[in-house]
Structure 1
Amino acid sequence: MRDSIKEYEAVEAAALKFVKSVAEGDSRPARELFTDDAVLFGFLDGKLERGSIEQFYRNVDAVGGGAGFKARVDVVAVEETMAVVRVLEEGWGGRIDFTDYLLLLKIDGEWKCVAKAYNQNSDTVRR
């Protein structure tokens, strides 16, 4: 069942914590979004990253978004206790474009991210 617009807005607000962290190079807002046991999967410059969300935090804190960083949040689906969000990123660290998918669950009335999977656009891979 599709949920109300109000819930879509709540999911978007939660996902914007992710964007804020990446844009500012500060993992603190994202730490409010992700559960402690959240996982990530994706390839960064051709190398598989998988496991704890802590790797994402380290990347964000080390690199920062950069002056030309842009992002767009698309709430793909909200189904009562589950949501899927796509985040398009351009210019992370001044050179990388990503497409991220975030899987959120509504836990104790709050939207929390339990998994992040991403694709680095092939034209931004440094080999």
Structure 2
Amino acid sequence: MSSFSRNINTIQDYQEVVSALENYVEGLRTGNIEKLQKSFHQDAIMYGHWEGHLIEGDIKNLYDSVERHGSAPDLKAHIDVLHKTTTTALGRIEYEGNAAGKDGIDYHSLLKIKGEWVVISKVFHVYDK
């Protein structure tokens, strides 16, 4: 079989990416920072606007926000894998009802490192209510 017709995007691969993003959503839902940390590379970054302020830099900003706001037991989320290669993926998570009562959208860049999918960057938008 020639290499150009080989399927590099198996259902299992997509399920692994979705699983990493579901872990992130569950960490938000439960307010579990340790669970969130498992979803992100230790040097991950995030950028976006929150209540008129640019949030930028270290993923610790997310952990601080979850610590401040707590769990989001009514969080609803929809996960899409926008694109995937054997080592990279782009995910989109649309959500309603985070711990601060806000709705928004996250775009996550993931990298497969040592067989595990981790988020290396998060870009987000929070909608006005």
> TM-score by structure 2 length?
0.89
SS at match of 1:92: coil
Mark the runs of 5 or more structure 1 residues left unpaired by the alignment. none
Identity %: 31
Contact 1:66 1:93 in 2 (8 A): yes
The counterpart of 1:61, out of the listed 62, 67, 72, is: 67
**1:117 paired to 2:120:** no
Q: Distance in 2 between matches of 1:28 and 1:115?
A: 18
| Aligned residues between the structures | 123
Residue in structure 1 matched with residue 3 of structure 2 by the alignment: none
Contact 2:91 2:109 in 1 (8 A): yes
Mark the runs of 5 or more structure 2 residues left unpaired by the alignment. 1-6
Residue in structure 1 matched with residue 53 of structure 2 by the alignment: 47
Which has the larger share of strand?
A: 1
**1:22 paired to 2:28:** yes
Higher Cα Rg, which structure: 2
Deviating beyond 2 angstroms after TM superposition, the runs of 4 or more aligned structure 1 residues are 64-68
Q: Any idea what the Cα deviations from partners look like across 1:62-89, whole Å, max 9, x if unmatched? A: 2134343211111111111100110111
Q: Distance in 2 between matches of 1:7 and 1:29?
A: 21
